[in-house]
Amino acid sequence: MRALELISTSTFDVVEKPIPEPGPDDLLVAVRACGICGSDIHGMDGSSGRRIPPLVMGHEAAGVIERCGLNVTGWTKGDRLTFDSTIYCGECSYCRAGRVNLCENREVLGVSTPDFSRQGAFADYVVVPSRVCHRIPDDLSFEEAAFAEPVSVALHAVNRVGITEGESAVVIGAGLIGLLVIQSLRRAGCSNIIAIDLAEERLELAQQLGATSAFRPDYEDLPAVLRSLTGEEGHDVVMEVVGISQTVELAVETARKGGRVCLVGNLAPSVQFPLQAAVTRELDIFGSCAINGEYPDAIAAIASGDIDVRSLTSCVVPLAEGASWFARLEAGKESLLKVILRP
């Protein structure tokens, strides 16, 4: 089979590999679409330590079953599906408690660390455990279904904070996940959603997708302006979807007393945190990691159009062109959101 392999830092090649053999509880999936994630871009240069070459990356995918493992029931060849990027064990204390995203033995498709290496879906075929797979409707395209993973990430973040109808929210960072968070907040009942980003075109798109207003982070006296939109109280919920010190500080400044701040972005491994402000204003601080059961809701939201993924699709290109598109995304000179590779 063909696979787009990271052969060294920031260097890809389309290589021939043996078709992987599914284990007794696995499915062999013929990949029909796989999106390039921001974590792939940040990891390809070796800086994250989570894309150690040689590696076939890719964890946002959809396809059809080619073969079922001996113990698999309920699935058959030709079934259309997508799958969770997190491979959880199902046996540790976190899995037994229903928090599979925190699995002690967690592995991630298309990720390689000193502890594990799991080949991903930038290939003709990929093997995944049947327990992480989800059916997709016949009228949902594979390209749309490949968004189930990032949509689930956004839904999980919104589920973490719990939204009450009519609440106000600020989303800091209007990249792909931020734009999906905006749509998820709107769907959950937020009446006032403010987007913050450096890119004007993304702020415009944010407003098309549900933000009621949008600002650049360098807008004069931004925290005071944001508070003024709620009668100086601040906002009920702030979703931080970048992960650097400046945006975390802005998130804390923007929340009302007793409000909730959700940390979704993790661009930097550590940040300066305004501890006194968070404590004295009694903020609830949430971390949001990956996905914990949101896939069915994500698939339904995409299929119904409640969450628009077509507006976020920059292009769909052949797998063979993947290396050049990774280079373009890494260069960051174009306003690209989601590039989907099609084997």
pLDDT tens per residue, range 66-80: 999 999 999 999 999
Structure token digits, residue 163: 């939204």
Please indicate, yes or no, if residue 300 is contained in any of the structural domains.
no
3-class DSSP state for residue 68?
A: strand
Are 126 and 212 in the same domain? no
Domain end: 240, 256, 287, which one?
A: 287
Instruction: Report residue 124: phi and psi, to 5°.
Output: -65, -35
Domain of residue 17: give its range: 2-147+309-342
3-class DSSP assignment, residue 282: coil
- In tens, the pLDDT along 184-222 reads 999 999 999 999 999 999 999 999 999 999 999 999 989
Residues 225 and 176 in one domain: yes
Is 133 in contact with 81 (CB distance < 8 Å)?
A: yes
pLDDT at 232 over 80: no
CA 147 to chain centre: 8
Question: What CA–CA distance (Å, rounded) separates 225 from 267?
Answer: 26
Residues 319, 279 share a domain: no
Cβ 262 vs Cβ 175: under 8 Å: no
Res. 286 pLDDT band, cuts 50 70 90: very high
CATH number of the domain that 180 lies in? 3.40.50.720
Domain match, 134 and 89 both: yes
297: in domain: no
Instruction: Tally the domains of the chain.
Output: 2
Is the same domain home to 157 and 205? Answer: yes
Q: Note the pLDDT tens digit of each residue in 294-307.
A: 999 999 999 999 99
The dihedral over CA atoms of 164, 211, 280, 243, expressed in degrees to the nearest 10, equals 120
Residue 97 sits in a domain whose CATH number is 3.90.180.10
pLDDT of residue 302: 98
Same domain, 186 and 111: no
Helix axes 176-188, 200-208, angle to 10 degrees: 20
140 with 15, same domain: the answer is yes
Q: What is the pLDDT of residue 48?
A: 84
* Alpha carbon distance 10, 5 (integer Å): 10
Cα–Cα distance between 223 and 236 in angstroms, integer? Answer: 14
If asked whether residues 48 and 168 sit together in one domain, one would say: no
At 138, list the tokens.
């016949």
